[in-house]
């Protein structure tokens, strides 16, 4: 009899249980099968191995020398099979990737990356959070986020955080298409004549906007409204003479379809790097690495 073609997992499982409890009746109860089925399985195994495995001592079945040898190998094999099953279960269950998105990446880069990643990795679940930079960076340090995507802030906010730049993006000043300031040759000369929508204090681009305003003689300028929210800022600007300082990425679609117009400012002070933030000592992670690579690829295509 060719034992390697006839041996089944039920033989191993039944043998190990009988060896453990030293009783056919107890093994049958544990395995939820009949006592005759246990006896038949053990007999088949002994015939396959061509040797007895147990000695009967009263009502107990005790392993003999051959049985102990087989038990050592069978138990090790069963353990390895259990490990393989557990690993496969972990690999196939839904994996969670937690992403923080700053406003400049929330309207185009991150949504497009989410769609690509979900298509390529259907067993993963993405959780995307938005919020101010200080909150997202704190959550990254605390292990509540796996990565953050957005514009680089001042260096003092990046303790223990690594940054990879994808591209440079400017802050723009946007208005409605028929805003009077668009008819001026030098729009920045007339900012004082109109109410401003500014990024709130704590926003990554707030210091950038303040430095620019200082450079044109508007030191300490305050916004009548403070927001980086696209729905709110867009609605305000489209229905008034407000002018809004906001990252280009936030209003990219509106600029492309002409519902908002960017004032020509021509200042290097408004540019800044956009990329991905991860913990400097983060352990390797397949899902995070895959998502970052998607961000790299999309960034190259979006900025061509």
For range 220-246, the mean pLDDT: 95
pLDDT score recorded for residue 150: 92
Averaged confidence pLDDT in the chain: 90
Which residues, including other chains, have CB under 8 Å from residue 129's CB and lie 6 or more apart?
A: 98, 99, 100, 101, 136, 139, 145
Rounded Cα distance between 287 and 280, Å, is 17
Out of 5-9, 32-36, 88-92, 107-111, pick the least confident: 88-92
pLDDT digits (tens, 9 = 90+) for 272-295: 999 999 999 888 888 899 999 999
pLDDT digits (tens, 9 = 90+) for 15-45: 999 999 999 999 999 999 999 999 999 999 9
Which residues, including other chains, have CB under 8 Å from residue 36's CB and lie 6 or more apart?
A: none
pLDDT at 267 over 70: yes
pLDDT score recorded for residue 62: 92
**Element at 149 (helix H, strand E):** strand 147-151
pTM of the shown model: 0.66
Distance of CA 225 to the CA centre of its chain: 33
Rounded Cα distance between 241 and 238, Å, is 8
pLDDT at 92 over 60: no
Q: How deeply is 120 buried, as exposed, middle or buried, from its count of CB atoms within 10 A (0-12, 13-18, 19+)?
A: exposed
pLDDT at 212 over 90: yes
- Give the residue from 104, 135, 100, 132 showing the smallest Cα distance to 200: 132
Query: Using an 8 Å Cβ cutoff, are 216 and 142 in contact?
Result: no
Q: Which domains does the chain have, with CATH numbers?
A: 3-92 (1.10.10.10), 95-302 (3.40.190.290)
pLDDT class for 91, splitting at 50, 70, 90?
low
pLDDT score recorded for residue 5: 63
For range 111-125, the mean pLDDT: 90
pLDDT class for 2, splitting at 50, 70, 90?
low
pLDDT at 165 over 90: yes
pLDDT at 1 over 80: no
Q: What percent of the chain has pLDDT over 90?
A: 68
pLDDT at 138 over 70: yes
- Give the residue from 125, 134, 112, 141 showing the smallest Cα distance to 302: 112
pLDDT class for 174, splitting at 50, 70, 90?
very high
pLDDT score recorded for residue 106: 85
Query: Using an 8 Å Cβ cutoff, are 196 and 245 in contact?
Result: yes
Out of 94-103, 256-265, 286-295, pick the least confident: 94-103
| Cβ burial 77-106 (10 Å sphere, 16+ → b, else e) | eeeeeeeeeeeeeeeeeeeebbbbbbbbbb
**Element at 82 (helix H, strand E):** helix 65-92
Give rounded-to-5 percent helix, strand, coil for the chain: 50, 20, 30
Query: Using an 8 Å Cβ cutoff, are 274 and 150 in contact?
Result: yes
- Give the residue from 203, 162, 168 showing the smallest Cα distance to 288: 162
């Amino acid at each position: 009899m060719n034992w390697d073609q006839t041996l089944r997992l039920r033989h191993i499982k039944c043998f190990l249980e009988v060896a453990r409890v030293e009783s056919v009746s107890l093994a049958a109860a544990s395995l939820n099968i009949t006592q005759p089925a246990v006896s038949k399985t053990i007999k088949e195994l002994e015939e396959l191995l061509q040797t007895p495995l147990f000695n009967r001592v009263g009502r107990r079945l005790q392993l003999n020398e051959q049985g102990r040898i087989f038990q050592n190998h069978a138990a090790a094999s069963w353990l390895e099979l259990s490990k393989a099953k557990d690993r496969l279960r972990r690999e196939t269950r839904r994996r969670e990737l937690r992403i923080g998105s700053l406003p400049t990446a929330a309207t185009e880069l991150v949504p497009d990356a989410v769609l690509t990643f979900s298509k390529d990795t259907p067993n993963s679940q993405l959780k995307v959070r938005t919020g101010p930079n200080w909150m997202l960076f704190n959550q990254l340090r605390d292990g509540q986020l796996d990565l953050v995507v957005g514009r680089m802030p001042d260096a003092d906010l990046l303790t223990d955080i690594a940054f990879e730049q994808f591209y440079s993006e400017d802050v723009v000043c946007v208005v409605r298409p028929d805003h009077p300031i668009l008819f001026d040759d030098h729009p920045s000369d007339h900012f004082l004549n109109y109410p401003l929508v500014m990024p709130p204090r704590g926003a990554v681009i707030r210091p950038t906007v303040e430095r620019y305003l200082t450079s044109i003689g508007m030191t300490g300028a305050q916004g009548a409204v403070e927001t980086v929210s696209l729905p709110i800022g867009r609605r305000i600007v489209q229905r008034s003479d407000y002018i809004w300082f906001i990252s280009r990425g936030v209003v990219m679609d509106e600029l492309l379809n002409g519902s908002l117009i960017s004032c020509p400012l021509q200042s290097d002070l408004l540019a800044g790097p956009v990329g991905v933030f991860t913990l400097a000592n983060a352990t390797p992670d397949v899902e995070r690495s895959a998502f970052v690579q998607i961000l790299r690829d999309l960034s190259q295509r979006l900025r061509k």
